[in-house]
Amino acid sequence: MNLLEKAKEKLEEPAKDNFIKKKVEDSIYEAFLAKKLAEEGLIRNACGKAFQAWKDLISALLYLKKDNILKLLKDERQKEWFLKKGVYAPSSRLSPLSSLLEKVGVKDVAYVTSEALRLHTYQYHGPDPEGLWGGPVDKEDAKDHLELLLRKWKEYISKYFEKYLDEDLRKVLENV
C-alpha cells in the first residue's frame, strides 16, 4: 500500500463524518465568538475569530468534496499533500484551495476567502487607510466586511452542513 492509499484510507467513513462535524462545530463557535466580540467593539479580535470560522468551514468543505478534488489533481504528490495537509486548510494555501472548491462547484468561495484573508491581515496590522493592501480602511469598514463574511459563512453552513447540526449547534447558529 503506497502513501497516498494510506492517507486516503484514514479519511474514509466514519472518520469523514466525524471530521466534518468537528470542523463545523468549531466553525460555529468561532463565528459566535466573532459576533460577540464585535458587539463589544473588539473588531480586530472579532476579525480573527471570523477568519478562524471561515478557515474551519473551508476545511470541512475540502473534506466534503475531497473525492471530486482528488479527481482534479493529476500528480500523486499533490494528492498526497492534499490528503495529509490540504484538508486542514492551512492559511497560506487558502486561496488555491478555495479555487479548487470553485472547480468542484462551490460557488463564490474564492471571493469570500479573499475577504476572510483581508480581515485576517486587518487583525494583525490594523486599518489600511492608504489602501496599500486592499483591506478595511477603518474600524467601521472592518465591521462591514466582518458582517459580510459572517453572512456568507452562515449561507455555506446552511447549504452544505445542515445534516451535521444537532440541536445545540442550531441554537448557537441562530445567535450568529
Tell me the C-alpha distance between 60 and 94, whole Å: 13
Which residues neighbour 88 within 8 Å (Cβ) at sequence distance 6 or greater?
59
Residue 69 lies in a domain: yes
CB 109, CB 101: distance < 8 Å: yes
Total domains in the chain come to 1
CB 20, CB 62: distance < 8 Å: no
What is the reported pLDDT for 7?
Answer: 61
Count of CB atoms situated within 10 Å of the CB of 164: 19
> pLDDT 10s digit of each residue in the chain, 176 long?
566 666 656 555 457 789 999 999 999 999 999 999 999 999 999 999 999 999 999 999 999 999 999 999 989 999 999 999 999 999 999 999 999 999 999 999 999 999 999 999 999 999 988 888 788 999 999 999 999 999 999 999 999 999 999 999 999 988 88
Residue 7 lies in a domain: no
What is the reported pLDDT for 135?
Answer: 86
Domain of 149, in residue numbers: 16-174
Residue 37 lies in a domain: yes
Residue 8 lies in a domain: no
Compute CA distances 102 → 3, 60, 105, whole Å: 27, 14, 5
Residue 128 lies in a domain: yes
Residue 2 lies in a domain: no
Residue 48 lies in a domain: yes
Tell me the C-alpha distance between 5 and 162, whole Å: 30
DSSP state of 138: S
The set of long-range contacts for 81-84, using a CB threshold of 8 Å and a minimum separation of 24, is 83/4, 83/7, 83/8, 83/10, 83/11, 84/7
What is the reported pLDDT for 4?
Answer: 61
The pTM score is 0.89
Residue 3 lies in a domain: no
What is the reported pLDDT for 158?
Answer: 94
CATH, residue 22: 1.20.120.330
CA atoms within 13 A on the CB side of 140: 0
